[in-house]
Amino acid sequence: MHDIVKHFPGVKALDGIDLDVRAGEVHCLLGQNGAGKSTLIKVLAGAHQPNAGRITWRGEEVRLPNPQAAIKLGIATIYQELDLVDGLTVAENIHLGHERRNRWGLNAAGESNAAAAELLARLGHPEVSPTTEVGRMSAAGKQIVSMARALSHDAKLIVMDEPSAVLDQEEVGRLFRVIRDLTAQNVAIVYISHRLEEIREIGDRVTVLKDGRTVATGLEVADTPTKEVIRLMTGRSIDYVFPDRGEGAPPGDPVLRVEGLGRTGEFSGVSFGVRPGEIVGIAGMVGSGRSEILETIYGARKPTTGSVTVAGKRLRPGRVGAAMAAGIGFAPEERKSQALVLADPIYRNVTIASLPRFTRRGFMDSDAERKAAADSTGTLDLRPNDVERAAGTLSGGNQQKVVLARWLLRDCKVLLLDEPSRGVDVGARTEIYALVRSLAASGIAVVVVSSEIEEVIGLSDRVLVISDGSLVHDCPADEIDEHQVLDMVMEGEVA
């Protein structure tokens, strides 16, 4: 891709981008949210048409008028927001658009299921059934299906946009093994991730974008220090560190008590407490029950055993309204689909959990909404702090701030955070960590679930380890390290 330019109304998204990718390499594409990465890969995928520039594929200049043209050439893209059809099976999604048919032109379900099973086994997931309906799968499971679909096109270049965002360390290890297998077969990979430690492990070369421009391209990963990559991405040096814990949470009784909580087939016998001002991190593999625990505390799932108590009051199980009334706030893993109304203005996304507060004789006081939302988002340094903007126009880090502002406005006692830094760039991560620590310092009890063990330990005062649906360890964060946590989540035993 040479000198690629792309305009949208009032915005120059790409301003002369250069990118070259070699067969058999992992080329990492980096940049903060809004740098132009997503727009560039949509040009490469045929989803956007560039206003200027040219694309050369295997030595010949090509046009990519639509995604089908890119796929036909052997260019497959796995987007961060997965484009799967929930009502179809795994096999039907994998072969969507190039269905296996018999001699009468009908779908050959048996052949399709067998081919899908072979692809899933190649990805290290033979346990995934080709006949499972995708809508019933976890976010990690859907990611695997999307990867299998890309492989089904016999792609020569695969673009992976944040493929590890919903994967735990074991899943990431499997992903990397698949990537190395593909590059050994001369398949090229364009890999986008905000996790810089992954770039160091899997990448061969790096291109860095900033404000729609190429600031560096073709850098050898082995020869480029991480701090230099951060400087190129942000324009300044950033120490990628977690905020100081200080003295930790003050002594006192837990504001949140979870006792013997369980859901059949998901988790069982989970008990812990969280004091005001304390951050408790939960580590575990995808599918271990960690996210389901948060959703059950919040009332989005009904427990089969156990109880949840907030400030001494036992909550009615399976009732989100009861949890909110008691002072529990929840920022789910899937921000865009589960936490935000992307087309609505920021102020309405902030006030949506507190609407009765802005109702006057049956009418909404929109001016009061706007003012309250602006005060709340201003406290969190939302950029730009224009509460009239649609939430969908914000970067990942600022969208997360909108979700946090919602619960700050509601004066919650307990804040549940599922993957708080997912899809957030390195600069915004530091801000999110500082915000979470400041919320805890204000007296809020915080529970954090993360796929990144480093994040769980670095951000938390106390760490809980979940393995196969059971709580296997509970200790202060400064008394455990990443290797011990990994051993426990893998083996289900205290290291």
pLDDT by residue (tens digit) across 102-119?
Answer: 666 566 788 899 999 999
Asked whether the beta carbons of 459 and 259 are under 8 A apart, the reply is: no
CA distances from 420 to 304, 377, 435, 470 (A): 27, 17, 11, 23
* Confidence band, pLDDT 50/70/90 cuts, at residue 495: very low
pLDDT for the residue numbered 110: 86
- pLDDT per residue as tens digits for the range 268-303: 999 999 999 999 999 987 778 999 999 999 999 999
Rounded mean pLDDT, 26-38: 88
Task: Please check the confidence at residue 132 and state whether its pLDDT lies above 60.
Answer: yes
Rounded mean pLDDT, 34-39: 86
CA 438 and chain centroid, separation: 22
pLDDT for the residue numbered 273: 97
CA distance 278 to 474: 14
pLDDT for the residue numbered 394: 86
- Please state which CATH number belongs to domain 2-234: 3.40.50.300
Share of the chain above pLDDT 70, in %: 95
Bridge-partner residues for 464, per DSSP?
282, 474
pLDDT for the residue numbered 493: 53
Task: Please check the confidence at residue 461 and state whether its pLDDT lies above 50.
Answer: yes
CA distance 179 to 189: 8
pLDDT for the residue numbered 402: 94
Helix residue spans in 280-353 (DSSP H): 290-297, 320-326, 346-351
**Angle of the 482-491 helix axis to the 169-184 helix axis, nearest 10:** 90
pLDDT for the residue numbered 334: 84
Bridge-partner residues for 475, per DSSP?
463
CA distance 345 to 350: 9
pLDDT higher for 156 or 489? Answer: 156
Rounded mean pLDDT, 326-335: 93
End-to-end CA distance of the chain: 49
Domain with CATH 3.40.50.300 in the chain: 2-234, 256-491
Rounded mean pLDDT, 24-39: 89
Rounded mean pLDDT, 347-360: 93
* Confidence band, pLDDT 50/70/90 cuts, at residue 134: very high
- pLDDT per residue as tens digits for the range 308-324: 999 999 999 999 999 99
Mean pLDDT for the chain overall: 89
Task: Please check the confidence at residue 54 and state whether its pLDDT lies above 80.
Answer: yes
pLDDT for the residue numbered 249: 67
Q: In 3D, which of 475, 488, 426, 495 has the Cα closest to residue 455?
A: 426
Look up the pTM and report it. Answer: 0.68
Task: Please check the confidence at residue 72 and state whether its pLDDT lies above 60.
Answer: yes
pLDDT for the residue numbered 458: 93
Identify the CATH class of 256-491: alpha beta
* Confidence band, pLDDT 50/70/90 cuts, at residue 494: very low
**Burial class of residue 138 (count of CB atoms within 10 Å of its CB; 0-12, 13-18, 19+):** middle
Task: Please check the confidence at residue 75 and state whether its pLDDT lies above 80.
Answer: yes
Q: In the numeric block, which tokens belong to residue 289?
A: 């029950």
Question: For residue 223, what are the contacts with CB-CB under 8 A and spacing of at least 6?
Answer: none
Question: What is the DSSP code (8-state) at residue 276?
Answer: T
Rounded mean pLDDT, 54-66: 96
